[in-house]
Amino acid sequence: MLSFVPFGYALVKNHSTRLRVQFHIAVQVILFLVALFFIYFMNPDQTWKVVIAVNLLWLAVAAALHGIVLTFSNHIIHQRGNDRREVNQPGFKLAGKFLGTTVGSMLALVALILVIMISGYATTKAVARITDVTENSTTKNAPMPVINSQSKEVPVVNSYKTVRNQMQNSLSNVPDSNVYSLNHARVQFYHGKLVYISPLDFDGSFFRYNHYKKVPGYFIVDATSKNAKPQFVRKSMRYTPSAYFGHDASRKIYASIVGRGLVISGSAPQLEINESGHPYYVQTLYKQYGLSNRKNYRKIYVAVLDSVSGKVKVYKQGDETKWIDVTFDPNIASDKIYSYAAERNGWWNAHGFGGSRLGVMKSVEGVGTEGHDDVFTPIAYKNNIYYFTSMTSNNRKQTSVLGYMYVNAKTGKTYYYREEADAMTPNRADSLAENRMKQTQWKANMPLLYRIDGKPTWVVSMIDDNGAFMSYVYLLANGNGTQDTVAVGTDAKSTLQKYRNLFNADLGTASSSHSGKKQQFNGTVKRVVKVNNSEIAFLLDDNENVFYASIKDYPRNMFIQSGDQISFTGYKDGQTVVVVKDISNKSL
């Protein structure tokens, strides 16, 4: 480090007494320990700009301290010898040179910072261009889940808050559970199925870490089934983000990239498992663009840390092993989208006073679970995980969607799909869903966009204060939240059918999209309720199933009452039955 330069110079010029030498050595030891602490615990970026900046700062500090020591020792020693000296004598002149070095190094540091800042502004458009966003004029080919009469898929969304609540409840079954916490969860594919992986980690106490040294394992839970229970997998992990010293996961990864000019993404490494269930911590790395601190999205790397053995492998994006599903950290993905959406026409256009703000967009914040300001919701589409976000105008008064952006979490490839129709933003959908369920005080969570029978539809999960899932709300994206554009229910398939009934969907055709079995039913009506203007729900005397029937397409169904003897055909899936066509009522 450059701090040794003033130290060596001070020893040469101020070596006349042992006390002076001891002063300078003490100063240098303190500086060295502080620098070691800073590097070890702060993990500064390993780029030449940071190296130069830190060395200039340390040169200034070292020169100032050695100058002070020189002046102090010169004054004290000669006072003891009753030898008064004036400020123009050699010792004080030498201290003045140290002052000059301090001021000069600080000015150089300021100049370097200014160069980096100016480079950042100057390269705004260039960085926006290398985001490599594929633009599409329609949403026709968007990786948006499609529900139609040929598909068997239904919108099932497991909110991370709900999953976290389930895992917290299961944590009590883990030995010494008070020692550990659940700090994060990652969506990934495991044996072809979408799951959440959430590792235990130390709660932050050094003394607890020092006693236990290892965490006992991780939770895995189906990301699509509301009835799925978290399963705890026992696998002792020594290297974790909350461990200390040589077992700190971030520090192990940091040590593995020395000299490569790579920068670690700001978020902590996330746990993924291979197909045999072995846990690894995965961290996104990147290089910076030119002289600026901006990310070069064409030079992305990924570090993979074996949480058991501590071995680290670094791959260039695209060369990683197949089981890794997320190489593109969501925080980097949100930075990438910001660069494209806000700054592709230049910094001044996006930020400058009086700028035109031509084409400036922004992600809708606070409705997702990933990325800066929770702009992303992870979705699965054709065996890939995408970060999904809605784009709206920079004008706060606008509540419609301009388009949607999807980032492939494995490749980093990014797509923009312009919305041609008049569609509401997800936070508008959340607001309407909460207003519809105002009496329950439930909160809207994690809205996802589906195309149901050709209609863009927001599917919102409603959760209680504890994060437990309570209900679905389906909203027509280009609707206004009125009763004829919203369906509510606790079951994904029955709610889907209710939603379809709002738009005169033929029950016989629509029910072909269900995986349920077609059966004949008969019995005595026990209870019947009108769900909305299009549908009724009822129970039979056996009280085993909940039946849904259209009154919009088959008006005679509205005259069913408790005690009626009825028979009909329906598609049974679990405890839900969708009635096909008319109901035969012997009581009429």
The predicted-structure confidence for 335-375, as pLDDT tens digits, reads as follows 999 999 988 888 888 877 665 677 889 999 888 888 888 89
- Torsion angle (degrees, nearest 10) of CA 488, 572, 452, 390: 60
Task: For residue 161, tell me if it sits in a domain.
Answer: no
User: Cα-flanking dihedrals φ and ψ of residue 354, to 5°?
Assistant: 80, 10
Domain boundary among 277, 294, 327: 327
Q: Which CB contacts under 8 angstroms, 24+ apart, belong to 199-203?
A: 199/237, 199/240, 199/271, 199/279, 199/307, 200/171, 200/174, 201/240, 201/241, 201/242, 202/240, 202/242, 202/243, 203/178, 203/179, 203/242
Q: Is residue 357 located within the same domain as residue 434?
A: yes
Domain boundary among 473, 506, 539: 506
For the whole model, what pTM was predicted? 0.80
Task: For residue 549, tell me if it sits in a domain.
Answer: yes
Return the pLDDT at 156: 56
Question: Can you tell me the distance from the alpha carbon of 8 to that of 129, in angstroms, rounded to the nearest whole number?
Answer: 48
Nearest to 295 by CA among 519, 128, 414: 128
Can you tell me whether residue 314 is helix, strand or coil? Answer: strand
Task: For residue 56, tell me if it sits in a domain.
Answer: yes
Query: Do 563 and 524 meet the contact criterion of CB atoms below 8 Å apart?
Result: yes
Q: Is residue 477 located within the same domain as residue 440?
A: yes
Identify the segments of the chain with pLDDT beneath 70: 1-20, 72-95, 148-157, 353-356, 396-399, 504-516
Query: Do 200 and 167 meet the contact criterion of CB atoms below 8 Å apart?
Result: no
Task: For residue 159, tell me if it sits in a domain.
Answer: no
Return the pLDDT at 338: 93
User: Cα-flanking dihedrals φ and ψ of residue 147, to 5°?
Assistant: -120, 120
Q: Is residue 184 located within the same domain as residue 293?
A: yes
Q: Quote the number of domains for the chain.
A: 4
User: 537: which strand partners?
Assistant: 529, 548
Task: For residue 381, tell me if it sits in a domain.
Answer: yes
Q: Is residue 434 located within the same domain as residue 448?
A: yes
Cβ atoms < 10 Å from Cβ of 193: 12
Q: Give 473's DSSP letter.
A: E
Q: Which DSSP string do the residues of 231-275 spell out, in sequence order?
A: EEEEEEES-BTT--GGGBHHHHHHHHTTTTT-EE-SSPPEEEE-T
Q: Is residue 375 located within the same domain as residue 436?
A: yes
Q: Is residue 264 located within the same domain as residue 116?
A: no
Q: Is residue 440 located within the same domain as residue 383?
A: yes
Q: Is residue 317 located within the same domain as residue 389?
A: no
Return the pLDDT at 323: 94
Return the pLDDT at 328: 94
Helices (H), 437-557: 492-501, 507-510
Question: Can you tell me the distance from the alpha carbon of 213 to that of 135, in angstroms, rounded to the nearest whole number?
Answer: 49
CATH of the domain at 581: 2.40.50.140
Query: Do 457 and 473 meet the contact criterion of CB atoms below 8 Å apart?
Result: no
Q: Output the CA torsion sign for 148, 154, 159, 160.
A: negative
Digit-coded pLDDT (tens) for 159-212: 788 888 888 888 888 888 888 888 888 899 999 888 999 999 988 778 888 888
Q: Is residue 251 located within the same domain as residue 293?
A: yes
Task: For residue 340, tell me if it sits in a domain.
Answer: no
Helices and strands, number each (H, E), in the chain: 13, 26
Question: Can you tell me the distance from the alpha carbon of 413 to that of 449, in angstroms, rounded to the nearest whole number?
Answer: 20
Return the pLDDT at 508: 38
Domain with 552, as residue range(s), is 517-585
Task: For residue 185, tell me if it sits in a domain.
Answer: yes
Question: Can you tell me the distance from the alpha carbon of 449 to that of 155, in angstroms, rounded to the nearest whole number?
Answer: 9
Query: Do 579 and 534 meet the contact criterion of CB atoms below 8 Å apart?
Result: no
Q: Is residue 522 located within the same domain as residue 417?
A: no
Domain boundary among 475, 506, 537: 506
Task: For residue 168, tell me if it sits in a domain.
Answer: no
For residue 439, what are its two tokens? 């009496």
Question: Can you tell me the distance from the alpha carbon of 63 to that of 3, in angstroms, rounded to the nearest whole number?
Answer: 7
Query: Do 175 and 216 meet the contact criterion of CB atoms below 8 Å apart?
Result: yes
Q: Is residue 480 located within the same domain as residue 550?
A: no
Q: Is residue 548 located within the same domain as residue 575?
A: yes
